Amino acid sequence: MEIKFIKREKLKEKPLGNLGFGKYQTDYLLYRDYKDGKWEDPIIAPFENFSYNPSMYVLHYAQETFEGMKAYRTNEGKVLLFRPLENAKRFMRSNERMCMPVIPAEEFLICVESLVKIEKNWIPSEKNSSLYIRPFMYATDIGLGVKASKTYRFVIICSPSSEYYKFEPTRIYVEDYYVRAVKGGTGEAKCGGNYAASIIAAENAQKKGFSQVLWLDGVERKYVEEVGTMNVMFKIAGKIVTAPLDGSILPGITRDSCLKILKSFGYEIEERKLSIQELIEASKKGILEEAWGTGTAAVITPIGELYYQGFTMKINNFEVGEVTKKLFEHLKSIQFGEFKYLDWSYEVK
């Protein structure tokens, strides 16, 4: 694989002030086309609009997958990625599920690293900000038949971003009508369709003053699964409880990292089915001590309140809990290279 580079004549102005999330695009993107059963060489080109045929498969049947990663600038000016191999591997699994060609992990990493190297001046140095990296792939065949496309485009774009949510307690609506995923569906794949299907519930919750929804399982609407853009964890009577990876939830890399960190802190972890009824009981007994979401974009988001069918579970008096705070600080210190942990940081040189 050889990466071609098309230089742009003039670089863009960098944004000033609050970056928001995903609002700004950098100077370049990377794309790579799949044709005749194989991947062509990637091209790093100026970030510009693509033109498309309105019959392109992805626009009709949503054969699409994506990833979310970040590049961090350390105090010494180094550039770090966080467990990028895990993204590469998950992207392969998502593509297999969506009947799309895979990109070998090594090639995925070379593509990400090459683009980040060129765009390193776009990595913000403000606190809690980073360069959000969005690799994605979509079906590009032309036609309206429902079948796997034979051609695809893989693209990586980058966006200098600040935090997705502020690090303060959020109010979450427990969704009891819509469901996100069922076993055998696409719940554990990172594909746009999962998010499209979730929007109606998120919009309804926002109208009621909540920031996101907590999904229950798609069969009984009984067991806790995940929150809109993140996995979710609870501290109940001193133990950490989270839903197991049993096919319908996203295998979050931040989720996995948090569980490993919490284990290293000495907490007992239970990856198991947790019913909403059990949460309500725990809340009534005063043993629902903390709750937080985990995700690449969301990092750690404290949950201050859960609302389910007329019952409000206030968590830790709507204040950020001790474990939530410790986890957030620890994870950030690893991601920003202040603390070396296992082989989780990958330096882009």
According to the binding rule CB under 6 A, does residue 101 interact with ligand COI?
no
Q: Is 297 in the site for ligand COI (CB under 6 A)?
A: yes
* Binding-site member from 42, 101, 293, 295 for ligand COI (CB under 6 A): 295
If the CB atoms of residues 243 and 313 are measured against ligand COI, the closer one turns out to be 243
CB 116 to ligand COI: min, Å:
15
- Select the residue whose beta carbon is closest to ligand COI and give its number: 68
Question: Among 113, 112, 107, 143, which residue's Cα sits nearest to residue 1?
Answer: 107
Phi, psi of 293 (to 5 degrees): -105, 155
- If one asks whether residue 160 binds ligand COI (CB under 6 A), the answer comes out as no
Beta carbon of residue 145, minimum distance to ligand COI (angstroms, whole number):
29
- Say if residues 81 and 57 touch (Cβ distance below 8 Å): no
Q: How far is the CB of 207 from ligand COI (least distance, A)?
A: 20
249 near ligand COI, judged by CB under 6 A: no
Quick check: 293 binds ligand COI (CB under 6 A)? no
CB of 68 to ligand COI, least distance (A): 2
Closest residue by Cα to residue 176 from 207, 211, 213: 213
Q: For residues 40-99, which are near ligand COI according to CB under 6 A?
A: 68
Beta-carbon count within 10 A of 96 CB: 13
The minimum distance between CB 64 and ligand COI, in angstroms, equals: 13
Kindly state whether residue 229 participates in binding ligand COI, applying the rule CB under 6 A.
yes
The DSSP secondary structure of 18-83, one letter per residue, reads ---SS----SEEEEEEEETTEEPPPEEEE--PPP--TTBHHHHH--EEE--EEEEE-TTS-EEEES
Total site size for ligand COI, rule CB under 6 A: 7
Q: How far is the CB of 164 from ligand COI (least distance, A)?
A: 6
Q: How far apart are CA 113 and CA 97, in angstroms?
A: 25
- If DSSP codes are grouped into helix, strand and coil, which group holds residue 170? strand
Q: What's the closest the beta carbon of residue 250 comes to ligand COI, in angstroms?
A: 8
The CB density around residue 59, as the number of other CB atoms within 10 Å, is 13
The stretch among 275-283, 289-297, 318-326, 330-338 that binds ligand COI (CB under 6 A) is 289-297
Applying CB under 6 A, which part among 26-34, 99-107, 293-301, 308-316 lies near ligand COI?
Answer: 293-301
If the CB atoms of residues 257 and 296 are measured against ligand COI, the closer one turns out to be 296
Q: What letter would DSSP give residue 14?
A: P
296 binds ligand COI (CB under 6 A): yes
Cβ atoms of residues 27 and 172 within 8 Å: no
* Strand, helix or coil for residue 323: helix
Please state the φ and ψ torsions of residue 160, each to the nearest 5 degrees: -65, 125
Is the Cβ of residue 28 or residue 82 nearer to ligand COI in the bound state? 82
What amino acid is encoded at 152 in this protein? Y
Q: Is the Cβ–Cβ distance between 116 and 46 less than 8 Å? A: no
Which residues contact ligand COI by CB under 6 A? Answer: 68, 195, 229, 295-298
